[in-house]
Amino acid sequence: MYLPRSTVHRIFTLTLTGGIALGLLFYALVDVAQQQSNGGPTLRLIVALLFGSIVGLALSIAAWISLRYALSEVRDHAQRILQADLPPLTDNDPLVALRQTVTDAIVAVPRSTTLTTLVSRLSTVIDHEAMLSAVAEAMSEHLPVHGVVFLLYDAERAVLVPSTAWGVGKANRSTVFDINSSAIGRALRERHSVRFSSVQMRELISTASSQPLTVINWPLWVQQTPIGALCVMLAGADVRLNDDQQQLLEQIATIFTAYLQTSIYRQWAERDQRRLALFEHITERMAEQPNLEQALVQLLRIAAELTESEHGTFLLIDDATSTIRMRVTLSGGDVLPLNLASIPILKHGLAGWVLRSRRGAIIDDIERDTRWVPTPGLELMRSALAVPLFHGDHPLGVLTLADPAPYHYSQHALALVSVLAAYAVTMLVHYRYEGIVEPEQQAHARQILEKHLDPESMRTLIAQRAKLMQAIQPQVITVTLVYGCLRSVERLTGLTAQQWYEDVATSFDSACRLIVYQHQGAYMSLDGISFSAAFGFPQPQFDDGVRALQVAQQIQSTVARLRIQWRQQFGVDLPLAIGITTGQLMVGVVGQAQSATMIWSGTALREARRLCQLARNDEIVVSDTVLKIVPSGRFTLDPLTPVNLHNGTEMAPIYRLIGNT
């Protein structure tokens, strides 16, 4: 507060002048007294006391006059600066009046109404844009604010997303800040403010002005829950706030957060209620659809609404031919016409990837992921989510969602869409989609043949329905047949039936079946210790003989390892004998429905069994009919004594398989 500078000087001047005058007066009095009488000490003492009293009185009067003058100047100055009338004085004591004047002046100092006005404005608005406008205008009264952006924290995706902006600020949906990898995200997690230049935060500034700006990011928290961040853009490069400015910004941010949390919590609650309502009424909405395509369209709309997606697609595929049977697409909520199937999508795109991996996937930023294949006519997408549709082990298609904003999808969204994908499979079953519900005859054929053929051969047959049905018809075909049998099984006297089945029969059958399937042969388990494998069924191939001999060698090597285990476990060696021939095989099916069984009989089976009986332990015996279809010199074979294979007089050459050449 201003105090008159002349007060002390005036007091000194008055007291000095008064002292000099009193000194002259004292001198004159003493001189007069000495001239008129010769008074003693008493007289001089009285004169001195009188003189002191006069000096003290003069000094008091001078001090009082000075204080009264200072009081007048203080009151005039306070009224002029504050532009307000001070209350009248209630005490004549100048010192008391000075204290009262100071108190009245402090009370009359005008208070800022910024925070009060802000609270009043925020209490009347509910949308984020109006709230941010009120906050920005309040800060502009004390800071050179050119723009403000509110970044909303999305807990599901763990990112900060521009929600609304003011001034030169820009709320761009394609701009996101990861909570873990970005500087703004880390500042929010650590709950401290951070400064950036306009170049560093150019994604949040709508103008390319040459004027430098400083962006101050202020974290917003409610207890232990992050709400978002306030990005304040101040004019000037590397602007630093003083303590009062930081306190003001903190107070405004606290008030903004208090009003903001209600709106945000309401949005979260409404979103969860909307999702719940969609799931509660999904059955009713699906039941109203007249056909499968309309049902898929409705389900796709629900998926897009649940995840707030701009684009969605259902692809229903034919796994056997790797083609797309049906494509239903949404863009901005409108159903697009059915487009042609695109093979690259299944080979190189996200849809093909999730089908091969058999699990859902999220692409946070399409510009950094090569699994997204752009669709002609579709606006640029930045993030995608895809979930495969499976019925058992049978792939049916893919549900794909996409959005122009990066980091749009979360694991929670993936879980929600996975539920919808499961519901889509249920719908396909309900509408008897061709890829799920097989014709009764085809299903019957598949159930019979899948007990004897490898999965790859089954897929090939299912894709060609005529060949599938032909394979179960009674027929006589030429095959190369491998027949194998374990010997000395009768020596396993201490085994229970369960031990025999689990430790010997199952392991032997599984090992032989696996090797036969690897070479695309048809496998037939006979009695637990014997098997047969036909090469040339259901369709003959040029290398049937070669594959049969290779299978026999591999089975012999694999069973040799099993025999070591059996000897250690049971103390018994179980040698293997194998016979191979080429001839006629009769194939047919007996029984009905679930009890239907395929049977083999004919010359080839009898000859292969006879050769297996003639073979020594660990020996593979091959008839000369096999050599006629195997390239010369491909295998090493030793001739054996010709034998009678048909209970006649004709002797047939046979050979022992040694190995490959």
DSSP 27-72: HHHHHHHHHH----HHHHHHHHHHHHHHHHHHHHHHHHHHHHHHHH
CA distance linking residue 223 with residue 271, whole number of Å: 22
Q: Report the Cα 145 to chain-centroid distance in Å.
A: 36
What value, to the nearest 5°, has the Cα angle with vertex 247 and ends 242 and 251? 150
Asked if the structure places residue 461 within a domain, the reply is no
* 631 and 648 both lie in a single domain: yes
* pLDDT given at position 334: 41
Question: Among 98-112, 176-190, 306-320, 419-433, where is mean pLDDT lowest?
Answer: 98-112
Percent of the chain past pLDDT 90, that is, above it, reads 27
* φ and ψ at residue 406, rounded to 5 degrees: -70, 160
- Segment 581-590 shows an average pLDDT of 93
Nearest to 160 by CA among 141, 145, 175: 175
The pLDDT-based confidence of 562 (bands split at 50, 70, 90) is very high
Q: Is residue 236 part of a domain?
A: yes
Q: Where are the alpha helices (DSSP H) in 500-629?
A: 506-518, 544-570, 603-614, 624-627
pLDDT of 503 reads 85
At 40-86, the pLDDT tens digits run 566 656 665 676 667 767 777 777 787 788 888 888 887 787 777 77
Give 81-107 pLDDT, tens digit per residue.
Answer: 777 777 888 777 777 777 788 887 776
Query: Same structural domain for residues 383 and 259?
Result: no
Task: Show the tokens assigned to 468.
Answer: 């599938």
Give the number of domains in the chain.
Answer: 4
Residues 51 and 170 in one domain: no
Asked whether residue 465 is assigned to any structural domain, the reply reads no
Whether 325 and 411 share a structural domain = yes
Cα–Cα distance for residue pair 645/435, rounded to 1 Å: 49
* Range of weakest confidence among 111-125, 156-170, 531-545, 634-648: 111-125
Q: What is the CATH number of the domain that holds 262?
A: 3.30.450.40
Supply the pTM of this predicted model.
Answer: 0.49
Q: Answer yes or no: is 174 within a domain.
A: yes
Amino acid letter for position 249? L
Query: In the predicted model, what is the mean pLDDT of residues 189-214?
Result: 85
pLDDT of residue 44: 59
Instruction: Answer whether residue 2 shows pLDDT above 50.
Output: no
Q: What are phi and psi of 67, to 5 degrees?
A: -65, -40
Q: Give 486-534 pLDDT, tens digit per residue.
A: 998 888 887 787 888 888 888 999 999 999 999 999 999 888 789 999 9
Task: Provide the pLDDT for residue 287.
Answer: 67
Residue 205: DSSP 8-state: B
Same domain, 413 and 487: no
514 vs 209, residue with greater confidence? 514
Report for 1-10, 204-213, 567-576: range of highest mean pLDDT: 567-576
pLDDT the model gives residue 485: 94
Q: Which residues pair with 215 in a beta bridge?
A: 196, 233
Per-residue three-class SS string for 213-254: EEEEEEEEEECCEEEEEEEEEEECCCCCCCHHHHHHHHHHHH
Question: CA nearest 422: which of 282, 310, 327, 273?
Answer: 282
Residue 520 has a pLDDT of 93
Residue 454, in any domain of the structure: no
Looking at residues 546-558, what average pLDDT do you find? 94
- Tell me which of 246 and 207 has the higher pLDDT: 246
Give the pLDDT mean for 428-454.
Answer: 76
104 lies in the same domain as 119: no
Among 124-128, 168-172, 412-416, 575-579, name the most confident range.
575-579
Do strands 576-590 and 475-486 pair parallel, antiparallel, or not at all (unpaired)?
antiparallel
| Residue span of the structural domain in which 52 resides | 7-108
Say how far apart CA 596 and CA 445 lie, in whole Å.
10
Q: Distances from the Cα of 403 to the Cαs of 366, 382, 400, in angstroms? A: 10, 6, 11
pLDDT at residue 639 tops 90: yes
Least confident of 113-117, 169-173, 431-435: 431-435
- 3-state SS class at 366: helix
Q: In the predicted model, what is the mean pLDDT of the chain?
A: 82
What does the longest C-alpha to C-alpha distance in the chain come to? 193
Say whether both 495 and 518 belong to one domain.
yes
Is 80 exceeded by the pLDDT of residue 600? yes
Clarify whether residues 533 and 623 are in a common domain: yes
Residues 511 and 561 in one domain: yes
Q: What is the pLDDT of residue 6?
A: 44
Q: Which of 389, 404, 240, 273 is nearest to 331 (CA)?
A: 404
**Is the separation of the CB atoms in 299 and 313 below 8 Å?**
no
CB 436 within 8 A of CB 429: yes
Q: Assess whether 104 and 121 both reside in one domain.
A: no
pLDDT greater at residue 26 or residue 371:
371
* 598 contacts 613 by C-beta, under 8 angstroms: no
| Domain contains 436 | no
Asked if 334 and 310 count as a contact pair (C-beta separation under 8 A), the reply is no
* Final residue before a domain boundary, out of 61, 76, 108: 108
Distance CA 294, CA 314 (A): 12
Q: Give the H or E element holding residue 414.
A: helix 411-430
* 446 sits in which H/E element: helix 440-449
- Mean pLDDT, range 428-435, rounded to an integer: 69
Q: Of 310, 348, 346, which is closest to residue 330 (Cα–Cα)? A: 310
> Are the C-beta atoms of residues 532 and 481 closer than 8 Å to each other?
yes
160: three-class secondary structure by DSSP: strand
- Exposure b/e, 481-519, CB count within 10 A at least 16 = b: bbbbbbbeeeebeebeeeebeebbbeebbebbbebbbeb
pLDDT 10s digits, 378-407: 678 889 999 999 887 788 889 999 988 888
In this predicted model, which residue has the larger pLDDT, 59 or 317?
Answer: 317
Per the structure block, which two tokens stand in for 652?
Answer: 């047939």
Predicted confidence at residue 528, as pLDDT, reads 79
Most confident range (mean pLDDT) of 352-356, 399-403, 479-483, 641-645 is 479-483
Q: Which of 273, 297, 326 is the last residue of a domain?
A: 273
Q: What is the reported pLDDT for 63?
A: 74
Q: Are residues 287 and 269 in the same domain?
A: no
Strand, helix or coil for residue 245: helix
Place 10 in a pLDDT band, splitting at 50, 70 and 90: low
Report the DSSP pairing between strands 619-623 and 576-590.
parallel
Q: How far is residue 157's CA from residue 354's CA, in Å, rounded to a whole number?
A: 21
Q: Is the pLDDT of residue 623 over 60?
A: yes
Q: Residue 337's pLDDT is what?
A: 41
> Would residue 196 count as lying in a domain?
yes
Instruction: Report the side by side order of strands in the sheet with 159-167.
Output: 177-178, 159-167, 145-154, 225-235, 213-222, 194-197
Looking at the fold, whether 297 and 267 belong to one and the same domain comes out as no
d(CA 513, CA 535): 13
pLDDT at 656: 94
Question: What number of H helices and E strands is found in the chain?
Answer: 20, 20
CA distance 333 to 311: 8
Residue 440 domain-assigned (yes or no) = no
Residue where a domain terminates, one of 273, 302, 320: 273
Q: Are 366 and 383 in contact (CB under 8 A)?
A: yes
Angle of helix 94-108 relative to helix 41-82, nearest 10 degrees, comes to 10
- Kindly compute the dihedral angle of the four CA atoms of residues 490, 494, 498, 502, in this order, to the nearest 10 degrees: -70
pLDDT in the model for residue 332? 45
pLDDT one-digit tens code per residue, 139-184: 888 888 999 999 999 888 888 989 899 989 988 877 888 888 889 9
b/e for 353-379, b at 16 or more Cβ within 10 A? Answer: bbbeeeebbbbbbbeeeebbeebeeee
- pLDDT at residue 17, rounded to an integer: 67
Is residue 355 within a helix (H) or strand (E), and if so which, with residue range? helix 350-357
